[in-house]
């Protein structure tokens, strides 16, 4: 029953998103035909182009046609790219997922370590330093970090590539879009290294603000856990400080951080829109900017729906993980 309710909510959310985006994109000024009217085109030429792209019908009629195709798994043809929208999304999404995953791993490692260290060293200079750094890092938006990394790694130190996803001179033709994993499986470590080095700077730009947030929330939860009776008992039992911290306190403090990380991962994927553009990274974020610039209505619709599906999926995974990690919630579900 709960699953059915979930599925119903998901379908309703997706329908709502599709209606809002569809109507908004047709109401705001700037349609794709206006973008491609060359000098000399007359009103009849404009009307011809509008008819060609199916924009001459009423908005409800256009939406009806779109929905009819969408439920059959067809999201239409991109106006700017002249390719199937699903195919385009399928081609770009793996790059974004790999980048998002790399960023998430970096954020969890950096933010988690900082949070634990800061909680353990509370009251000492290292804790103040970690808190201060987290505040600064969080205050700077991801795209500004991107610009800083382009300057640092691209010009000052020349350590990392700053555009693209793979060295164009490498001869590698991936079957799936997951180039990192595919190259690993195929034993092409040179390609793996190239993909990894290309993703470090954009992933770091995406990860830093999330890492700061993880550090702050984890620190607060850890402090709460460290003051709990069971931790005091563990200390009285003579367990080492590290064991108390990592084995007793951390697992109990991690639930709120996990929920926050899930929400932040969704926002992190949203951040790829600007970061991918900045680093010329060929993912769905970069694709969505191209779609918006060209007022490519079918593609915008498809990309927004994809983001919506990703957000819902992430929330479902986080919900499941939270239940799995928290015995009280688990028993309540039973």
Partner 1 sequence: MKTSSNAARSSARRGFLCGTGLTLAALGAAGPLRVLAQTRNTLTIAYNVDLPSWDPTVGPSAVNPTIQSLYKAVFSQFIDQNADLSLKPDLLTEWGWNADKSRISCTVRRGAKWHDGSAVTAEDVAWSLRRASDPKTGNPIQFIWSKVDNVQVQGDKVTAEVKEFEPAFFKWMAFLTGYVMPRAYYEKVGAAGFEKKPVGSGPYMVEEFVQGSYLKLRAFKDYFGPKPAFETVVVKFTTDPSARVAEIESGRSDLTLEIPYEEAERLRAKGFNASIAPVSDIGMIFLTNVEPMTNDKVRQALAMAVDKKGLAGKLLRGHVKPIDTLQAPSYEAYDPGIKAPYDPKKAAALMAEAGYTRDKPLKFKVQTTRGFKPKDFEVMQAIAGMWKAIGADVDLEVYEVAKHFELRAQHKLAPAAFYNWGNSIGDPSTSTAHAMFSQSPHSAWKDPKLDALIGPLWGEKDEARRIAGYKAVDKYIADNALVIPLFQYSQTVVFRKGLKFAPHGAGFVLPQAVGKA
List binders of partner 1 among 62-81 (CB under 8 A).
78-81
The answer to the question of residue 287 lying near partner 1 (CB under 8 A) is yes
Residues 148-167 that bind partner 1 (CB under 8 A): 150-151, 154-155, 158-167
Window contacting partner 1 (CB under 8 A); options: 54-62, 122-130, 187-195, 307-315: 187-195
56 binds partner 1 (CB under 8 A): no
- Binding segment for partner 1 (CB under 8 A), chosen from 11-19, 100-108, 272-280, 316-324, is 272-280
Q: Does 30 bind partner 1 (CB under 8 A)?
A: yes
Q: How far apart are the first and last CA of the chain?
A: 13
**Chain-centroid distance, C-alpha 252:** 27
279 alpha carbon, distance to own chain's centre: 15
| Helices vs strands, H then E, count in the chain | 15, 0
State the burial class of residue 222 (Cβ atoms within 10 Å of its Cβ: 0-12, 13-18, 19+): buried
180 binds partner 1 (CB under 8 A): no
Q: To the nearest whole angstrom, how small is the minimum distance from the Cβ of residue 320 to partner 1?
A: 29
216 contacts partner 1 (rule: CB under 8 A): no
Residue 175 interacting with partner 1 (CB under 8 A):
no
CA distance 100 to 98: 5
Cα separation values, 207 from 20, 172, 235, 285, Å: 30, 28, 35, 16
CB of 126 to partner 1, least distance (A): 26
Distance CA 302, CA 78 (A): 9
Residue 325 engages partner 1 in binding (rule: CB under 8 A): no
Which of 86, 121, 133, 193 is the binder for partner 1 (CB under 8 A)?
A: 193
Give me the DSSP letters along 27-55.
Answer: HSS--HHHHT--TT--HHHHHHHHHHTTT
Nearer to partner 1, 44 or 229 (CB): 44
């Amino acid at each position: 029953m709960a699953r059915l309710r979930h599925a119903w909510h998901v379908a309703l959310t997706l329908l709502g998103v599709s209606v809002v985006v569809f109507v908004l994109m047709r109401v705001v000024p700037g349609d794709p035909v206006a973008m491609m009217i060359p000098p000399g085109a007359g009103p009849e030429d404009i009307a011809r182009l509008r008819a060609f792209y199916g924009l001459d019908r009423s908005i409800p009629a256009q939406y009806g046609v779109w929905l009819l195709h969408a439920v059959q798994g067809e999201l239409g043809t991109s106006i700017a790219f002249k390719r199937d929208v699903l195919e385009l999304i399928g081609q770009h999404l793996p790059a974004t997922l790999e980048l998002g995953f790399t960023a998430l791993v970096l954020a969890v490692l950096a933010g988690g370590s900082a949070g634990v260290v800061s909680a353990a060293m509370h009251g000492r200079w290292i804790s103040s330093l970690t808190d201060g750094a987290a505040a600064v890092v969080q205050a700077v938006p991801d795209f500004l970090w991107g610009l800083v990394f382009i300057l640092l790694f691209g010009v000052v130190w020349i350590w990392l590539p700053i555009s693209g996803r793979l060295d164009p001179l490498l001869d590698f033709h991936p079957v799936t879009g997951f180039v990192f994993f595919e190259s690993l499986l195929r034993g092409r470590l040179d390609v793996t290294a190239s993909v990894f080095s290309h993703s470090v700077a954009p992933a770091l730009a995406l990860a830093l603000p999330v890492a700061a947030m993880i550090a702050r929330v984890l620190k607060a939860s850890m402090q709460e856990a460290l003051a709990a009776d069971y931790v005091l008992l563990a200390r009285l039992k003579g367990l080492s400080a590290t064991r108390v911290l990592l084995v007793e306190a951390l697992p109990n403090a991690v639930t709120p951080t996990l929920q926050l990380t899930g929400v932040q991962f969704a926002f992190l994927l949203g951040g790829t829109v600007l970061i991918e553009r900045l680093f010329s990274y060929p993912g769905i974020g970069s694709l969505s900017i191209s779609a918006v610039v060209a007022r490519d209505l079918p593609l915008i619709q498809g990309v927004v729906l994809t983001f919506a599906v990703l957000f819902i999926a992430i929330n479902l995974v986080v919900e499941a993980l939270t239940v799995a990690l928290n015995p009280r919630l688990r028993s309540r579900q039973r």
